[in-house]
Amino acid sequence: MGSAQTVAVFGAYGHTGRFVVAELRDRGFTPVLVGRDAEKLQTMAAADPGLDARQASVDDAASLDRALADAAAVINCAGPFATTAAPVIEAALRAGIPYVDVAAEIEANADSFADFADRARVAGVAVVPAMAFFGGLGDLLATAAMGDWTTADEAHMAYGLSSWHPTEGTRAAGTVSGQRRNGRRVRYTKGALEYHNDELPTLTWPFPDPTGPRTVLAEFTMADVVTIPSHLSIPEVRTYMTTEAARDLAAPDTPAPTGVDERGRSDQTFVVDVVVRSGDSERRAAARGQDIYAITAPLAVEAVSRILDGRTRTVGVASAGEIFDAPDFLRALAVHASLEVSQ
């Protein structure tokens, strides 16, 4: 175990990785730049001479061990996570340090839970997959909305994105996920993941004001179908995406996001509207903000901060809503997003 302020960032020079590095510095941590491309690492380090750069590859365990030496935790920002998650988790377990990633890949997240649950628990190491806009934020909102409920019949996550300019990493992850599914779609129903070839229906979702009703693709399934059922007894978890954002993501010529403010955020806005239902009762939570990639950074860094100072509820592989106090965690995000929970 190294300095409590030193956090390795694998994939530091990527789009989300840069936001994470900046957030770590803002929070008083010392980021260590880690990645596969030595030239990109050196270029990034040259722009900020105070940062250490360490080249590492997921097919070279010794290089990962060297990269994590003296780090108190590691945040994995390098997709596709189907390739990177397991080797970096293995390295974190060898180092005895917590692991957090920002994976939105459903199958990669499911693998992290399935393959490392026992080993991480025995080692007393926290492993938190999908600590990001997709997977982590929805899980926190759903957990907060549940309140004192121990079970619910359904959970619905509607994503109101004004647009979606995907990064190179998002496109690569989508390609890998599509290959793993043989082109099929996935849903979470009757307590299990189900693969299918059905077309996605459209419907109107009543987003809270000022967004209001918007057309969404139903069963546009995201990582919430892994994180939420990992600890909440909800047999039906459904996610929805505004049609404009879905079209952007599907179009091969949609450009990557472009920064428009001093923090490098794009002009994309989002609202995440979460509804949990039990019988005739309904509870709701919502979050609003700017730039889904940028908001991932405070989510991941807040997670590391809480793990390192002991504000956790369990060890081993766990989602955000299970390992953290969800309402308190969401309050800590208030500077980055507006949040509302109604029960």
Instruction: Say yes or no: 307 and 231 in one domain.
Output: no
150 plus 270 within the same structural domain: yes
CB 43 within 8 A of CB 284: no
- Nearest-CA neighbor of 305 among 17, 20, 18? 20
Same domain, 283 and 310: no
Residues 213, 73 within the same domain: no
Identify whether 336 is part of a domain: no
Main-chain dihedrals φ then ψ at residue 105, nearest 5 degrees: -80, 120
> Do 57 and 151 reside in the same domain of the chain?
no
Are residues 76 and 141 located together in one domain of the fold?
no
Between CA 224 and CA 158 the distance in angstroms is 11
Same domain, 112 and 227: no
Query: How many residues comprise the chain?
Result: 343
Alpha carbons 201 and 217: distance in angstroms, whole number:
6
CA distance 216 to 132: 21
Give 261: exposed, middle or buried? Use CB within 10 Å, 0-12, 13-18, 19+.
exposed
Enter the pTM of the model: 0.97
Q: For residue range 145-182, what is the model confidence (pLDDT) as tens digits? A: 999 999 999 999 999 999 999 999 999 999 999 999 99
Domain total in the chain: 2
Q: Which pLDDT belongs to residue 3?
A: 66
Do 111 and 141 fall into the same domain?
no
Q: Which CATH number does the domain housing residue 236 bear?
A: 3.30.360.10
Helix 81-95 and helix 106-123, axial crossing angle in degrees, nearest 10:
10
**What mean pLDDT do residues 190-198 have?**
96
Lowest mean pLDDT among 1-15, 88-102, 178-192, 304-318: 1-15
- Give the structural domain span for 113: 6-133+296-327
Does 231 lie in the same domain as 151?
Answer: yes
Assess whether pLDDT exceeds 60 at residue 1: no
Note whether residue 184 is domain-resident: yes
Asked if 169 and 122 sit in the same domain, the reply is: no
